[in-house]
Structure 1
């Protein structure tokens, strides 16, 4: 399911999507809290086959500056597909070019405006941060380009009650063709750092770690590259904190491409 939402005021509360299955069990499938920007943003929610009801629930924090809107709800039975397309030109041999399919466009993200096609999940939230993170001793100075004034995705471990609290960025269900890879930049420097994982979550509930780092890694931004297995699944970044102090983690410049990593 896709839909568009607008949440911009200082008094904004939250917008949540719940699903009820055949047994009557309710599950939180998607949420946003607080101001999200002056533009309309698109939300993506995976709807399982046993879901009988979808519920949108909105709340307000203050009685002022709290207008919230949704629009253009679409239920699509087909998952997003990440593919390449073959094109032949008169003067050249057949070549493979990246398609403009929705997943690549939505999941490649520099976090300058929003989270692109990535959806929040977990007990904690990723934040969009500009400039230095709160931890002035071991935290993040700027986004990985070091150009100044640019944003990155930020996990504030200070908000974690314990190490079991996680924040996730989830792709939604995508069919990945063979030969797709993902690259991204990450910052993990504090003594209280937990872990950053890239997970494959199948429709059958299986979870496989495709990449992970635990604990302090470097005071600099580091680049990771991962070949993605073909198939239908959710791609998820999951982050946690070992301690509530010195545990700032940054994520930036996610790129999906069709160049195999050796």
Structure 2
């Protein structure tokens, strides 16, 4: 197991090293080789209860610097337990990364930074919640490198959403959203937004708790339990089903800035997308977020500087793998000013960009004056006989040039 060992005390059983597809439980292949011959570390849920911990060797202090713990994880099954990454410092275990429940029937990439201000060890903790045969937790290809890295996926982050230098914006009860084709606080209906009849599910106005436990908001963003918001009730749908609302028609005045608040709480949360469309098509995805974001309202912000005579805003949800995936939005406002896209940590950009939440999340923006066309966010095949079929990290999104329809590029 390289430099990793099972802890000798403080847990209930051991991680086991095993191959895929041998006993009908766990991943069928390891991540490294993609075959049944490869090995990974597995939490044996059938004969154990409680939790198990795997620990690294001791990393010596290097004040002011960080280590990045990168790994691949597999969490599949309706009764899947909890995977936590902790840092052991001065005998104290501090949880830094955690996911609960079914994530995917595939290996997924994770990483978390750890401060090297003091001597430390890294720990992987697997907790069994059920002894049923649908409870697979495994890890593979763990690497430790120098430098700080962003928590991946974002939903695994444990701690305050905003760093101390960027406090969470306060929510005031007298916030007023003015009338407008893209504005709405949902207090008196859905304003100039309309439901897309082609969707599999529908958006509905909500007040207080949603109909499903352990998911969705308990109050609206501005007026608490007396206010209204818009959400999609996932208990009424199936996996990967979609729901969309479309704004009224907007005419840009130079640049526009779309500001909205979103709530994505639940261990089976799917995806929230925002599109900017013209009257002739669906338009590009300009903002996206997926997975658990905590039981809180978070601010989204998108700069709209597309060269369109008119446009509409589309909010789309894609249902997650279960009913605990209610997604809500509130207090949508389109302002006549330029802005950059922000994530829940505005101004705190990671040292690299995986594009999973759009390039604006990393501090990048389209050049508006000195080029000929824009980069676009891609996923899967580019639709021509060139370009990638999938991205480097997850097999999902990337940014590309579409050379087939442009005459020049810079």
Fold match by TM threshold 0.5:
yes
Q: Is 1:112 the counterpart of 2:187 in the alignment?
A: yes
Residue 146 of structure 1 deviates from its aligned partner by 5.3
Q: 1:146 to 1:114 in 2, by over 3 A?
A: closer
1:104–1:256 Cα contact (<8 Å) kept: no
The 1-side partners of 2:191 and 2:292 are apart by 28
The 2-side partners of 1:206 and 1:240 are apart by 16
The 1-side partners of 2:277 and 2:181 are apart by 18
1:157–1:240 Cα contact (<8 Å) kept: no
Residue 241 of structure 1 deviates from its aligned partner by 0.8
The 2-side partners of 1:153 and 1:228 are apart by 23
The 2-side partners of 1:207 and 1:143 are apart by 29
Q: Which has the higher contact order (CA 8 A, sep 6+)?
A: 1
1:159–1:244 Cα contact (<8 Å) kept: no
Residue 191 of structure 1 deviates from its aligned partner by 1.5
> Per residue, is there more strand in 1 or in 2?
1
The 2-side partners of 1:130 and 1:206 are apart by 30
Task: Mark the runs of 5 or more structure 1 residues left unpaired by the alignment.
Answer: 1-102
Task: Report what 2:232 is aligned to.
Answer: 155
The 1-side partners of 2:260 and 2:282 are apart by 24
Task: Report what 2:284 is aligned to.
Answer: 208
Task: Report what 2:321 is aligned to.
Answer: 243
Matched residue of 1:158: which SS?
helix
Task: Report what 1:11 is aligned to.
Answer: none
Task: Mark the runs of 5 or more structure 2 residues left unpaired by the alignment.
Answer: 1-177, 341-410
Matched residue of 1:183: which SS?
strand
4+ runs deviating over 6 angstroms? none
Q: How far does the alpha carbon of each residue in 1:140-169 deviate from its partner, in whole angstroms, 9 at most, with x for none? A: 110012532110001111122231x21111
Residue 242 of structure 1 deviates from its aligned partner by 1.3
Residue 104 of structure 1 deviates from its aligned partner by 5.8
The 2-side partners of 1:169 and 1:223 are apart by 19
**In structure 2, which of residues 244, 264, 276 is the aligned counterpart of residue 188 of structure 1?**
264
**In structure 2, which of residues 299, 318, 326 is the aligned counterpart of residue 223 of structure 1?**
299
TM-score by length of 1: 0.56
Q: Is 1:127 the counterpart of 2:213 in the alignment?
A: no
Q: Is 1:253 the counterpart of 2:331 in the alignment?
A: yes
> Equivalent residues in 2 for 1:49-128 (5 A)?
105-121=180-196, 122-128=199-205
TM-score by length of 2: 0.37
The 1-side partners of 2:278 and 2:204 are apart by 26
Max Rg structure: 2
Q: Is 1:166 the counterpart of 2:272 in the alignment?
A: no
2:189–2:205 Cα contact (<8 Å) kept: yes
2:259–2:301 Cα contact (<8 Å) kept: yes
Residue 206 of structure 1 deviates from its aligned partner by 5.1
2:272–2:316 Cα contact (<8 Å) kept: yes
The 2-side partners of 1:181 and 1:153 are apart by 21
